[in-house]
Chains A and B, each alone.
Chain A
Amino acid sequence: GGIITQTPKFLIGQEGQKLTLKCQQNFNHDTMYWYRQDSGKGLRLIYYSITENDLQKGDLSEGYDASREKKSSFSLTVTSAQKNEMAVFLCASSPGTINQDTQYFGPGTRLLVL
């Protein structure tokens, strides 16, 4: 078994601020993902990474940067927080082959921008 840890659990920011979210997994999985979850809009893929130092854009990458510093960690940066933005950011990982593999999700980071 393994676990995905996301920090922080809650993040309150100011408009225009750069905010960084972190994700760690100890599954030894190759692929990691960042999703944004909004009510009524489902899970939207922001970035994914199939190996260390790899980055692939998802459908919602504009306004975000990501970094896969090592196999076990994947960070996401909101480049300029939008006023009144409220969302949950979920990190996930999968063993290797994107099309076949189950994704395992972390507990999420809840973002509120004042």
Chain B
Amino acid sequence: GDSVTQTEGLVTLTEGLPVMLNCTYQTIYSNPFLFWYVQHLNESPRLLLKSFTDNKRTEHQGFHATLHKSSSSFHLQKSSAQLSDSALYYCALHDYKPTFGKGTSLVVHP
């Protein structure tokens, strides 16, 4: 079946440094949709960005990601971390059913 692998566990950054959270996936479908969801403390997950177009950069709220089908990757990046970016981030693959990764917890400190 499908699987999604994310950067494991906890990522700790100093404010102002770049963010990169890795996501790779496995699926037999040739046209997968990839999503990043963000969950802040005591909130529910919500969409951050999504893509199904190969090699096209998608941006939202300062974050960006590019779907690379050749490497089955959809890494999340931001040029400069902010304190408010501290949250749990999920990468997800949607085809006939959704599959989520285990989540990466990002902590940004001053």
Contacts and interface: CB of A to CB of B under 8 A. Distances in A.
Interface string A81-93: 0000000001000
Contact of B101 (A42, A59, A100): A42
A48 interface: yes
Interface in B66-107: 90, 92, 94-103
A56 B45 contact: no
B47 interface: yes
Interface residues of A, number: 24
Interface stretch (A18-26, A69-77, A105-113): A105-113
Contacts, number: 58
Interface size grouping (class) on chain B: 20 to 34
Contacts of A59: 1, 99
B25 interface: no
Task: Give the dominant DSSP class at A's interface.
Answer: loop
A42 B44 CA distance: 13
B64 interface: no
A54 to B, nearest CB: 13
B44 A90 contact: yes
Given A40-B9, A43-B90, A98 B96 contact: yes
Contact of A45 (B9, B32, B98): B98
A58 to B, nearest CB: 7
Contact of B99 (A45, A56, A104, A106): A45
B50 A98 contact: no
B90 A98 contact: no
A100 B53 CA distance: 12
A90 B95 contact: no
A106 B95 contact: no
Interface of B: 1, 9, 31-33, 35, 37, 44-47, 50, 52, 90, 92, 94-103
Given A33-B98, A41-B102, 18 more contacts: A42-B102, A43-B90, A43-B100, A43-B103, A45-B99, A45-B100, A56-B97, A58-B97, A59-B1, A90-B44, A90-B45, A98-B95, A100-B52, A101-B94, A103-B37, A103-B45, A105-B46, A107-B44
14 contacts: A33-B98, A42-B100, A43-B100, A43-B103, A45-B99, A48-B98, A90-B44, A98-B96, A99-B32, A100-B33, A102-B35, A103-B45, A103-B98, A104-B46
